[in-house]
Amino acid sequence: MQISKDANLIEDILKPAEVMPTRDGAGKALVEFGEANKNLVVLTADVSESVRTHWFEQKFPNRFFEVGVAEQNLAGVAAGLAATGKIAVIAAYAVFSPGRNWDFIRVAVCYNNVNVKILGSHTGLTVGPDGATHQALEDIAITRVLPNMTVIVPADGKEARKAMLAALAIKSPVYIRVTRDKVPVFTTDLTPFEIGKALLLKEGKDITLIGCGTVVYDCLKAAAELEKEGISAEVINCHTVKPLDAETIINSAKKTDMVMTVEEHQIDGGFGSAVCECLAGSHPCRVKRHGMPNIFGESGDSKDLLRKYKLDANGIAETARKAIGGVKNKQKVTVI
């Protein structure tokens, strides 16, 4: 477990100095790493500006490849480049990569364990008006099941930069999930980041709120509201879904005996399922998985959608209250 230097200073954390999409942090990291390492190549499928690889394209045009609207080829070409010793990054909308080209990622990338990083952008409900067809809500599930794959879901733009730099430093497949909407930047340049190490943001004793991605900020806001009601919520940023930081999760569960996972993703097979798998074998306790309840999203303003599906701070706090209300007897081995 890593502890933020701001742990328990929730008032300061909830006053972010800027907002930015997490895709921006990842895109800036590509340029930064590319300046130091000439082996880095970047590929996209006709969405360079949207997924923020255009900055790399402008700086290193000879190391940038546009394959067109052909996501299967995107993965196949990247695997070939990686087999020759290159560090290959493919970037597209997540519904198409890893969605459409999952088989190519499975066989060409993961089976061969080549050095390819998959940047999946425009994930979750916050794609908003683009609607259900473009809202990737299954990508964590389909990537975390693949052998040799690391899965990272950054909480803000600064963490996305660190995540991409960390991913580029290891020689194996990595999936990084980023978003289109601007979100609060609540971490700092000094906030620690290590693949596989969750970050404790706030200590608590009544319930553990553990999230991945941009909903972590809303978990903090929810915890602040619950604190006013006498409910002490521990908040953990679990940016790495695979490999999961089992030690941190289990230790927190032992303390609170009530865990609530939060994700902008389907609850079946996603981050919450990963946490349940972890706890089932080591510390069975009450777990509430909070996310999309086995339904597709819909078109609408991103804030309205998060509110409707209770993935904003108010909805997370409301769900946590109900979860705590159902654990008076603290019966174990129950998923609610």
The CATH number assigned to the domain holding 149 equals 3.40.50.970
Query: Would residue 230 count as lying in a domain?
Result: yes
pLDDT tens digits for range 68-80: 999 999 999 999 9
Domain of 309: which CATH number?
Answer: 3.40.50.920
Tokens 């990083």, residue located: 117
Single out the residue in 185, 219, 245 at which a domain terminates: 185
Single out the residue in 128, 155, 185 at which a domain terminates: 185
Tell me, yes or no, whether 107 and 222 share the same domain: no
Q: Which residues contact 55 (CB under 8 A, 6 or more apart)?
A: 27, 28, 30, 31
Q: How many domains does one find in the chain? A: 2
Query: Would residue 72 count as lying in a domain?
Result: yes
Q: What is the separation, in whole angstroms, between the first and last Cα of the chain?
A: 26
Q: Which residues contact 291 (CB under 8 A, 6 or more apart)?
A: 261, 262, 263, 264, 265, 266, 267, 270, 271, 272, 311
Report the side by side order of strands in the sheet with 286-292. 2-3, 199-202, 233-237, 207-211, 258-266, 286-292
pLDDT mean across residues, the chain: 94
Q: Helices (DSSP H) in the chain: which residue ranges?
A: 10-13, 22-36, 54-59, 71-83, 102-104, 139-144, 157-168, 215-228, 246-256, 271-282, 302-308, 313-325
User: Is 0.85 topped by the overall pTM?
Assistant: yes
Tell me, yes or no, whether 149 and 228 share the same domain: no
Q: Which residue has the higher pLDDT, 328 or 172?
A: 172
Single out the residue in 150, 185, 220 at which a domain terminates: 185
pLDDT tens digits for range 271-329: 999 999 999 989 999 999 999 999 999 999 999 999 999 999 999 999 999 999 865 44
Residue 50 identity (one-letter amino acid):
S
Query: Is residue 71 annotated as a catalytic residue, yes or no?
Result: yes
Tell me, yes or no, whether 174 and 267 share the same domain: no
Tell me, yes or no, whether 146 and 51 share the same domain: yes
Query: Range of 261's domain?
Result: 2-16+192-325
How would residue 15 be classed by pLDDT, with cut points 50, 70 and 90? confident
Tell me, yes or no, whether 218 and 117 share the same domain: no
Tell me, yes or no, whether 66 and 196 share the same domain: no
pLDDT tens digits for range 209-254: 999 999 999 999 999 999 999 999 999 999 999 999 999 999 999 9
| Catalytic option among 71, 138, 234, 263 | 71
Tell me, yes or no, whether 127 and 197 share the same domain: no
CA 302 distance to own-chain centroid: 17
Give me 335's structure tokens: 């998923």
Tell me, yes or no, whether 180 and 199 share the same domain: no
Residue 264 identity (one-letter amino acid):
E
**299: exposed, middle or buried (Cβ count in 10 Å: 0-12, 13-18, 19+):** middle
Sign of CA dihedral 52, 210, 250, 13: positive
Tell me, yes or no, whether 170 and 234 share the same domain: no
